[in-house]
Every structure is written in C-alpha cells, then in structure tokens.
Amino acid sequence: MQAQKLSPAARIDSYNRFDFSPSTRQQLLKIFGKEKPWKLQATRRADGKVDVSLALDSLDYSDPVLGAKIRLAPETGLATFDNTFRQAEVNFGMPWMKLEHQDGWILAMDRLSGQATQHLGNHDLWLGKANFLIESIDVTDASAENITSIRGIEWTSEISQHGKMVDISYAVSSQSAKFGGTELGALRFVFKMNNLNEQALSATKKGIDRQVTSTEPEEKQNAAILALLKKNGIKMLTPTTSLDIDEISVVYHDLKAVVRGKVWLNQAKQSDLLSFDKWKDKLALHFDMEMPMGFAEDVARFFSRRSLQQKLEPGQTVTEDAVNQSANLMVTQMVENLRAQKMIRVDNGVLRSSLDYSAGKFKVNGNPVNFNLPKLNAGGAKAGG
C-alpha cells in the first residue's frame, strides 16, 4: 500500500529493487532451492505506460505437513499500468500444477490462466473485472482410477462503484463434471451483492492487506483478519444492501434444474443493522425453484440403482425394469406428498416452488408455513441450552 503513494518513477524503481525479507528468502530457499525463484521487472514503454512482468520458476517440493509433493510449472504474468499507476491490465498463466499425496491420490490442474482490467477508485479500492480459467481438474486414486473430472472451470468477478456504493458480482461455472460414475453437464453459480459501503469496504481491504504483508506469524495474521472482519463487516452493509442469486443451476442428462432469488432489507435504517432481532423484522427474501420432471426421475433412477445394488446377493444383477419401477414409485410418492402439502406445483412437466420471507413470516407458493428463525440473545448466541 505504501508504494501507491510513490511517484511513477519511484514505483518503477521499487518494482525493480523489490526483494523479500531475509526470513522469507530462507523459506523460499527451502521450498524452491533458491532464495529468488522469480524475476520481477518494470519497464516504461514508449507510449508512457509501464509493463511489470513476473516470471516464477517451477516447483517440485515435498511438504511434510500436507504429506504431499507440490509440483508447479513455471508461471508468467504481465501487468500493464497507465502512467499514473491507477489503471491496469493484468494477464498471467501456468501450464499445469499437481498435488501428489503420499496415500497415492493425485490432484492435477491444467492450463490455468487469468485476466483483469481494473482501475483505482476514490479510496484506493481496485474496481473492474477479472476472469480466471482452468481447462481441467482431475483427481485420481492410488490405482490411477479417475475419481473426479471437471472441465471448463471459469470464475469471473466485477466490482463497480456508483456514488458511495459498490456492487460486487461473481460467477463460477464448469462445462461438465464427473464424480465416480456420475456425469453432470454444466454447473453454474451467479450472484451479486448490491449497495455495499465503498469506504468501509476499502478500509477493510487495506486492513487485510496490511496483515497479509506483515511479518507476524500466520496464526496472528489470521486472528487479526478475523477480528477486523467482525469489527468492520457490519459497516460494509447499508439499508439498501441486497443479494441477488441470479442462478444456481446444474444440468443432468441434458435437463436443467435451477434456483433463483433475492435477499434484501425492507424499509431498513442503518441502526437496524446492529441488532439481529431488527434484522429479522426487516429481512425479506424470495426464491424460485424449477426442476423438469425428467430431471427428478433421472435422479431417482440413480439412487434406486445404488439402493438395489446394495441389496444384491452374489451372482445377481440389477435389471432396468427394477430400477425404473423403484424410481417411478419414489418420484410419484415424493410429488404426491409435496403437492398435498402445497410445497410444489407441477406445470407442463416442470416441478416449481417459491419461497418467501417477510415481516418474520415464511410462505411457500404463497401459503403460510410455520418456520421460525432462531432467537439470539444480545451477545449473538442462541437462546436456550
């Protein structure tokens, strides 16, 4: 954070002269086999912009705490700043990384890359977009059998400012996933926090940065960061803060189940944010769920097959007729029970349900249900034993 106050020329010089402390260099020597396994260089371009390049050596280290060997391919990165160092474009990449555990299982990631376009806001909070990609993640067991495979992982984020407020959005997705013998299509989780206090968020970020770059032991750093979040976390919220769940979805056998919703505060004041009881009175939410009947039937077939296989005698096999019969019974009973309780609706072969909460009361599909939030005492703990 101190470097942010330097002149552009001094910034360039600080990058080119950067070095870790003697204690950190000893740790790097232990892990990488050399005290300086990286090359950091800042160069002013003809157009006035500044390129800051980073090259990190490969790693082949056996961690006694993890009980695993950590192997990393060389990493490269380039950040291009404007002449004020308040705007930046960042790109980095790593061909692969592996974690090889002593028990025999291996976690492997291929083709990791990232890109960000950002600028500094009023209180030195970096605003803008970032994108991180992993082509594949695979986990194999000791017999080299693939346990988990995930393809096309993407994480994106955006921080934008309007007036004294900040919005933060995240999206995490994958193109496909396989867990054991179960194959899934696209997975997606998209949400957005609206109207956070920009100054409080910036102060919290600076406090965390100070702890991360301090020379204190890791345990003390973590404790200080947790205390900071407890102290400043509530200050980041405003009466108009809300959470949009744009999508939580999974595709199974080409059928998609999805949940969408929103959480907000009804006619809240800043003082209402200091008490859970007031929160409960002001809190409001709405969620919608939809699932094709075929999705429910396919999931039921999966669990029916597992259940029947566990009951087999030696030499027996599970027939598709038995699986379908068990699954149909499971789905029929589930749908009938939930419809009888008015918990779901069936609309053109799609199971639908909505959940609302407002003024301390829950509703499912517009029907009141008895479900109370836990009561907390003044200290924030559950009332009762």
Lowest-confidence segment of 42-56, 257-271, 294-308, 362-376 by average pLDDT: 362-376
Range of the domain at 369: 245-385
What count of Cα atoms within 13 Å lies in the side-chain half-sphere of residue 18? 16
Nearest to 242 by CA among 194, 200, 190, 287: 194
- Residue 289 pLDDT greater than 80, yes or no: yes
3-state secondary structure 269-303: CHHHHHCHHHHHHHEEEEEEEEEEHHHHHHHHHHH
Helix (H) or strand (E) holding 354: strand 350-358
29: in domain: no
**Confidence category of residue 290, pLDDT binned at 50, 70, 90:** very high
383: in domain: yes
Query: pLDDT, tens digit, for every residue of 250-284?
Result: 999 999 999 999 999 998 888 888 776 777 788 99
**Confidence category of residue 123, pLDDT binned at 50, 70, 90:** confident
Please name the amino acid found at residue 346.
V
- Residue 1 pLDDT greater than 60, yes or no: no
157: in domain: no
360 in the Ramachandran plot: left (φ > 0), alpha (ψ -120 to 50) or beta? left
Q: What is the mean pLDDT of residues 190-205?
A: 93
Nearest to 136 by CA among 101, 157, 107: 107
Q: Are 206 and 1 within 8 A, CB to CB?
A: yes
279: in domain: yes
More confident residue, 233 or 338: 338
pTM of structure:
0.85
Mean pLDDT of the chain: 89
Query: pLDDT, tens digit, for every residue of 219-236?
Result: 888 888 888 888 877 888
For the chain, the domain total comes to 1
More confident residue, 274 or 358: 358
Question: 22: how many CB neighbours lie within 10 A of its CB?
Answer: 8
Q: Which residues contact 77 (CB under 8 A, 6 or more apart)?
A: 53, 54, 55, 56, 90, 91, 92, 93
173: in domain: no
260: in domain: yes
- Residue 172 pLDDT greater than 50, yes or no: yes
More confident residue, 376 or 150: 150
CA–chain centroid gap for 213, Å, is 23
**Confidence category of residue 373, pLDDT binned at 50, 70, 90:** low
What is the per-residue pLDDT for 221? 82
348: in domain: yes
110: in domain: no
